[in-house]
Amino acid sequence: MSALEVRGLTVALPRGADRAQAVSDVSFQVEKREIVCLVGESGSGKSVIAQAIMGLLPAALPVSRGQVFLEGEELTAAAPARLRELRGARMAMIFQEPMTALNPVMTCGAQLDELLLFHGRTSPAERRKKILQLLGEVALGDPERMLASYPHQLSGGQRQRIMIAMALALEPALLIADEPTTALDVTTQSQILKLIIEVQKRHGMAVLFITHDFGVVAEIADRVAVLRLGELVESGRREEVLSHPRHDYTRMLIASVPSLKPAQRATLPAGPAALETKKLSKTYTERRWLGPRREVHAARDVTLAVRRGETLGIVGESGSGKSTLARCLARLIEPSEGDIFLGGTNIARSKPAALRPLRSRIQIVFQDPYRSLNPRRTVAQALIEGPVNYGLSREQALERAGRLLALVGLEGSSLERYPHQFSGGQRQRICIARALAVEPEVLIADEAVSALDVSVQAQVLRLLEDIRRKLELAMVFITHDLRVAAQVCDTVAVMHRGRVVEYGSAAEVLVHPRDEYTQALLAAAPGRDFGFGSAAQEAARPGSGA
Amino acid sequence: MAVLVFLLLRLTPGDPAAILAGDAATAEQIDRIRASLGLDRSIEAQFAIWLGQVLTGDLGQSFYYRMGVATLIGQRLEPTLALALFTLVLSVCVAVPLGVLAAWRHGGWLDRGLMAFSVGGFSVPTFVVAYLLIWLVSLKLGWLPVQGYVRFSENHLLFLKHLILPSITLSFIYIALIARVTRASVLEALGEDYIRTARAKGLPETRVLLRHALANAAVPIATVIGIGIAILIGGVVVTESVYAIPGLGRLTVDAVLARDFPTIQGLILFFSFVYVMVNLLIDLSYAFLDPRIRY
């Protein structure tokens, strides 16, 4: 008997959706002591499957056909009360975003406690003993403090450990992990993946692991099932699927994963720096009513340079100061110390009025294409606002907007449409066009491809490469993803706690890292032993894709 | 605030001395009364005297009642306090559960009914509700007294009986307000990830609703209760007049009609003080309701 069996599962979408079924006719099994990865891009229906198994689908998305069996018991026919008994006890779930998945107004201890209480563990002493044992199992130090802490007082990794402890509490037969490491830093991700494998082995659980990341798949899966638009296109053992994918879609997905091996890049002739920083620092002071003043050194002594036609990668985990640095470079905030030279002008101390004429020379593309475009303005309005501001006539600006859309691969008819009518990848193309509209010399991409699906990410990376070459832009590429950095950067600066710990050519830094932190970062990259990314490397090579 | 109130009162037409003297008084009598009240001095001088008194804790003497304003407010405080507390407790006890249920069964008959009720609660004037209730409950059914007030110390049961109708009247608008905000913020909380987590833990739905959704919706609800206190002060004036309750609201109306400047000033200062204190308490309660908020 399988721990989980899904038979012909079909979930209907409400009328007017982009397709008739969120999930259609999906069948798979998860055996005891097995990790099955359900892989798919956004909209593939993978989270719908997880919710269908747990019986947590919203009323608007009913299971229209098919069955789900947990240890032989049919869940699709079970009464709500029985499902509630099983949830948390026989099947447990952990989620992507550990910050929002925990109740912010309850202590972690209380959230663990209520799970045990409502599943019939009535003795407080017994519950407490169990909770302390669980915290030990997920390797959370200082358990007393953890129990008394609210979620916002813990780090992302600690919160996810609390979630895992909660999921393990009643020894479930099935653990569903819905993108549990996507929101985490790469080093934390590797620890959490290790922890999941460890507890899975120890408890002999079946794990259904939902992810979009083939690196993670290579790291933990026993078997893999690939979903595309609600249909299961391929499933099999990990080695089979990764090395010999049969379906075109799987092949495309695997090829889209960028390689960790730096791409061959043409060497640039020596030239003056387009943007340069000297000993740049940014310190935030936190003042409170009571208590001492706290200083946070978001960036310290950063010295970097990028020439036209070159891409500088700034790599680091969350809190490393890379976004603060980006904001300083674009002078959206004022640095505390140090210099920023744009061309030959030092803009580190310039007043807002003096900065205004210079702003057109540096532009930023942000991470979230859903929130960085004003939803009430058409694409044309978004694209001409900058140039008109800098003195172009409306007609000239519109004509330029049309050319830019063609450059980023969108149709001219897009001009009159609104942002919500585009997909994430298309929106990011619009954001890029918007940045280019004022003809900058320097383009800062702040995690510009992180929110995109891997296949779309590959396309946008290709576009950015293409634009950099055509327009001879100096590009500052900020990312947490070493794979992406390896493919698009000429030079790489690794940031850790506000400092640049290693700075050099991509080939050097990513192949022969000298700094301990860079080494740890590389070692933590999921799926590093698996040779991903032949296609992405192909695309990024100079001369191709133009 | 104090300056504004003072000036507004002196600049509005109406002579307290003429009202005190009565219809048959001569010009000399009115002048004498005016001088005895200190109203013959310049506005600046009157303000300086009053401010000096207020800063030393003396709200002055009422023109009309011939007693200290502070004593007067103290005497009339009990009925108003009782009415306000009753209304508050009644409103919260009715509105919060209603709002939670409406959010839980979002789009259902209870939800739609509640929305219709709150439109009504906002738009029907308090005195209309009051007279309708008196007609139905007191006159037709004869269950409760029509109007009046009995002190708590005199007779507990009568005290309660006299407060029920006024509290229900006053709580209408309040229930509408709190239920709407409760519904909206619980609805928002129900869409959050931690609700999904709570359900994935196999918790009963009541636990999910109360401990997870309502607890996270508490800050906006506390805020609207604070705002509601301001509405309550206005509502008390009308309600006390209709039910003939000798409270601060009634006193306000009488003082305004008699152009009893010291009493009006005292009352406004008092209401402002209560309002500021309530809002301070509400602000402080945020830190208790949401551990992420620290001062």
Q: A519 to chain B nearest CA, in Å?
A: 35
Cβ-contact A518, A501 below 8 angstroms: yes
Q: Please tell me the number of Cα atoms within 13 Å of A492 on its side-chain side.
A: 29
Task: Flag whether residue A70 sits within 8 Å of chain B, measured between CB atoms.
Answer: no
- Could you tell me how many residues make up chain B? 295
Interface contact flag, A115 B292, Cβ < 8 Å: no
Q: What are B171's two structure tokens?
A: 């709580």
The residue assigned the tokens 């005891």 is A32
Residue B234 has pLDDT above 90, yes or no: no
> pTM of the predicted model, to two decimals?
0.80
Residue B42: enclosing H or E segment and its boundaries? none
Helix (H) / strand (E) element for A59: namely none
Torsion on CA atoms B183, B186, B191, B196, rounded to nearest 10: -140
Confidence label for B2 from pLDDT (cuts 50, 70 and 90) = low
Find, among A495, A135, A514, the residue nearest to A320 by Cα.
A495
Distance in angstroms between the alpha carbons of the first and the last residue of chain A: 54
Distance CA A487, CA A481 (A): 10
Strands A231-237 and A345-346: unpaired
Asked if residue A154 lies in contact with residue A26, where contact means CB atoms within 8 angstroms, the answer is no
- Whole-number Å distance between alpha carbons of B205 and A407: 53
Compute the distance between CA of residue A346 and CA of residue A338 in angstroms, rounded to an integer: 10
Using DSSP bridges, classify how beta strands A311-315 and A491-496 pair: parallel, antiparallel or unpaired. parallel
Q: Where are the alpha helices (DSSP H) in B105-155?
A: 109-123, 126-133
Where does the pLDDT of residue B61 fall: very low under 50, low under 70, confident under 90, or very high at 90 and above? Answer: confident
Q: Which of A94, A103, A108, A149 to mutate to test the interface with B (most CBs of B within 10 A)?
A: A103
Q: Which two tokens stand for residue B74?
A: 């103290």
What's residue A536's pLDDT? 42
Residue A260 neighbours by CB distance under 10 Å: 22
- Cβ atoms A221, A37 nearer than 8 A: yes
Most B CBs within 10 Å, among A105, A107, A153, A289, to test the B interface:
A105
Q: Half-sphere exposure (CA, 13 Å, Cβ side) for B137?
A: 18
Helix axes of B109-123 and B69-104: crossing angle, nearest 10 degrees: 150
Whole-number Cα distances in Å, A26 to A6, A38, A179, A230: 7, 11, 19, 8
Which residues, at least 6 apart from B32, have a Cβ–Cβ distance to it below 8 Å?
none
Beta-bridge mates of residue A224? A37, A236
Rounded distance between C-alpha atoms, residue B56 and residue A86, angstroms: 69
* Cβ proximity of A386 and A466 under 8 Å: no
Residues B123-128: what's their mean pLDDT?
81
- Judging by DSSP bridges, how do beta strands A91-94 and A174-178 pair with one another? parallel
Q: Each residue of B200-219: pLDDT tens digit?
A: 999 999 999 999 999 999 99
Sheet with strand A311-315: strands edge to edge = A362-365, A442-446, A474-479, A311-315, A491-496, A499-505
Task: State phi, psi for A26 to the nearest 5 degrees.
Answer: -95, 130
Averaged pLDDT score across all residues of chain A:
87
- pLDDT for residue B94: 93
The domain limits of chain B are 2-55, 76-289
**Which amino acid appears at position B293 of this protein?**
I
Residues of chain A with pLDDT under 70: 288-291, 531, 533-546
C-alpha–C-alpha distance, residues A85 and A373, integer Å: 45
Contact A249, B255 (CB under 8 A): no
Please tell me the distance from the alpha carbon of residue A90 to that of residue A174, in angstroms, as a whole number. 6
Q: Confirm or reject contact between A104 and chain B (CB < 8 A).
A: yes
Q: What DSSP element (H or E) covers A48?
A: helix A46-54
Tell me the pLDDT tens digit for each residue of B250-272: 888 888 888 888 888 888 888 88
Answer yes or no: is pLDDT of B237 > 80: yes
Beta-bridge partners for A350 = none
Measured between its terminal Cα atoms, the distance across chain B in Å is: 27
Q: Give the mean model confidence (pLDDT) for residues B87-94.
A: 92
Q: Please give the backbone phi and psi of residue A21, each rounded to the nearest 5 degrees, phi first.
A: -130, 135
Contact residues, B window 105-164, toward A, CB-based 8 Å cutoff: none
Q: Are A216 and A532 in contact (CB under 8 A)?
A: no
- The rounded Cα B284 to chain-centroid distance in angstroms is 21
Partner residue opposite A115 with nearest CB, options B201, B215, B216: B201
Question: Any chain A CB within 8 A of the CB of B199?
Answer: yes
Tokens representing residue A415 in the block: 């001009």
ipTM for the whole predicted complex goes beyond 0.85: no
Which helix (H) or strand (E) segment is A278 a member of?
strand A273-286
- Distance (Å) from the C-alpha of residue A4 to the closest C-alpha of chain B? 17
User: What are the residues whose beta carbons fall under 8 Å from the beta carbon of B59, sequence distance 6 or more?
Assistant: B53, B68, B69, B70, B73, B262, B265, B266, B269
Give me A412's structure tokens. Answer: 């001219």
Per-residue burial over B72-99, b if 16 or more Cβ lie within 10 Å, else e, is: bbeebebbbebbbebbbebbbebbbebb
Helix (H) or strand (E) run with residue A157 in it: helix A156-168
Q: What is the DSSP string of A298-318?
A: EEEEEEEEEETT-EEEEE--T
Q: Which residues of B160-180 are buried (b: 16+ CB within 10 A; e: fewer)?
A: eebbbbbbbbbbbbbbbbbbb
Instruction: From B31, B50, B94, B42, select the one nearest B266 (Cα to Cα).
Output: B50
Amino acid at residue number B177: L
* Of B43 and B83, more confident: B83
Q: Are A76 and A126 in contact (CB under 8 A)?
A: no
Query: Which residues in chain A are closer than 8 Å to B203, comparing Cβ atoms?
Result: 84, 88, 114-115, 118
How far is it, in rounded angstroms, from Cα A342 to Cα A330? 10
Q: How far is A85 from chain B (nearest CA, A)?
A: 6
CB of A538 closer than 8 Å to CB of A465: no
Classified as helix, coil or strand, B56 is coil
CA distance A86 to A84: 5
Cβ of A119 under 8 Å from any chain B Cβ? yes
pLDDT of residue A533: 56
Instruction: Dump the DSSP string for A325-379.
Output: HHHHHTTSS--SEEEEEETTEE-SS--HHHHHHHHTTEEEE-S-TTTSS-TTS-H
B192 part of contact set with chain A, CB < 8 Å: yes
Is the CB of residue B189 less than 8 Å away from at least one CB of chain A?
A: no
Confidence of residue B195 (pLDDT cuts 50, 70, 90): very high
pLDDT score for B260: 81
B198 SS3 class = helix
Q: What are phi and psi of A180, to 5 degrees?
A: -70, -10
H or E stretch at B98: helix B69-104
- Whether B79 has a pLDDT exceeding 90, the answer reads no
The third-level CATH classification (topology) of the domain covering B76-289 is MetI-like fold (1.10.3720)
* Interchain CB distance below 8 Å, B211 and A106: yes
Interface of A with B in 205-244 (CB under 8 A): none
Look up residue A199 and give its two tokens: 């507890």
Distance CA B81, CA B78 (A): 5
Nearest neighbour of B216 by CB, restricted to A88, A103, A166:
A103
CA–CA separation, B290 and A293 (whole Å): 23
Average pLDDT of chain B to the nearest whole number: 83
Q: Give residue-wise pLDDT tens across range A88-127.
A: 899 999 988 888 899 999 999 999 999 999 998 888 999 9
Rounded Cα–Cα distance for residues A387 and A208 (Å): 51
SS3 percent helix, strand, coil of chain A, rounded to 5, is: 40, 25, 35
3-state SS track over A121-136: CCCHHHHHHHHHHHHH
Query: Could you give the maximum distance between any two Cα atoms of chain B, in Å?
Result: 85
Q: Tell me the pLDDT tens digit for each residue of A51-93.
A: 999 998 888 888 889 999 999 999 988 899 999 999 989 999 9
Task: List the strands of the sheet with A91-94, edge to edge.
Answer: A91-94, A174-178, A206-211, A35-39, A223-228, A231-237
Q: How far is CA B229 from CA A193, B84, B124, in A?
A: 53, 9, 19
Q: Please give the residue that has the higher pLDDT: either A51 or B294.
A: A51
